Amino acid sequence: MLDGDFGWLKEASKRRRYLVGVSGGADSVALLHLLQREGFQRLVVCHLNHGLRRRAASADARFVERLAERLGCEFRGGREDVGQCAEMWGCSVETAGRRARHAFFAECGRKTRCRRLLLAHHADDQAETVLWNLLRGSRGASGMKVEQSLAMAGLSMQISRPLLTVSRARLRSWLESQNLSWREDATNAEPMAVRNRLRNEALPLLEEIAGRDVLSSLQKAAESDAELREIETWAVEQAEVLDPQGRIHIRKLMSLPPALRWSCVFDFLRNHGVQDLGRGVVSRVLEMLVADGSAFLNLPGGGRMRRRQGRMFIE
């Protein structure tokens, strides 16, 4: 078994149905095999062809479908032209891909009546997320959570990331030791995507400069940040900022210190599936607090924040 914190795998109910996002890459293939070996029997393998790599992408889809069949798992496949979506939505290919995946997972969730989604994010992904959030100035040293509720295309999903403390290298080493195959995504080595540059250039350079395990340091930073967020969440809950309909009560929000107001709005937007959250988006929402009468703000991804009768909500 891999070293790492696998408390989720040990504690989760094996009888429940779970959606599992599987791209065919080493990370998601390792997750699927680990789940199967731990006795999870009601797994729905979900694979989205992004339409970016043509023949290679089709081969990925066939690989994942055959793997699901071999392991006795239900398979759900989909296809989206993410490049075309990026042009239509006026966003990056990365953002379009994330939105397309969310919509696909939500569709799978509705068709299978399953709201639990397992993703194969690992320690390297966590480090990239922390660095990117620091560079954007959006959320300090925040990272991904092992457990998270998130709205995907209007559907509330419970997301779990069992591999978040395990490095990419360790996952690949384990697959090799078990003689398990996976698909390589050539786009992971291409320099144009921000994530790829963080992965292939920034993190190795930081390790060289620091002379220590940067993945572990960034993981600890994310954990410390998460502890602070728990305190913030508790304070917001005590103030009863959200009304019974899940809308922001403006007067109660204004009673909080500025830092807590910012945190509350950020979490509200993120939990409603708003993507590309930088300081600018949150700041513009906060400006609505002092607007006269009703006000609205178009959000990244197509939603709209509305201020009306002392409440703020997304429509």
Q: Are strands 116-118 and 74-79 parallel, antiparallel or unpaired?
A: unpaired
Q: Are 171 and 26 in contact (CB under 8 A)?
A: yes
Is residue 61 annotated as involved in ligand binding?
A: no
Is residue 140 annotated as involved in ligand binding?
A: no
Is residue 23 annotated as involved in ligand binding?
A: yes
Distance in angstroms (rounded) separating the CA atoms of residues 64 and 42: 17
What would the two tokens of residue 165 be? Answer: 């403390």
What would the two tokens of residue 2 be? Answer: 């891999």
Is residue 4 annotated as involved in ligand binding?
A: no
Per-residue burial over 211-236, b if 16 or more Cβ lie within 10 Å, else e, is eeebbeebbebbeebeeebeebeeeb
- Name the nearest CA neighbour of 214 among 108, 128, 87, 310: 128
- Residues at the annotated binding site? 23-28
- Residues at the annotated binding site for ATP? 23-28
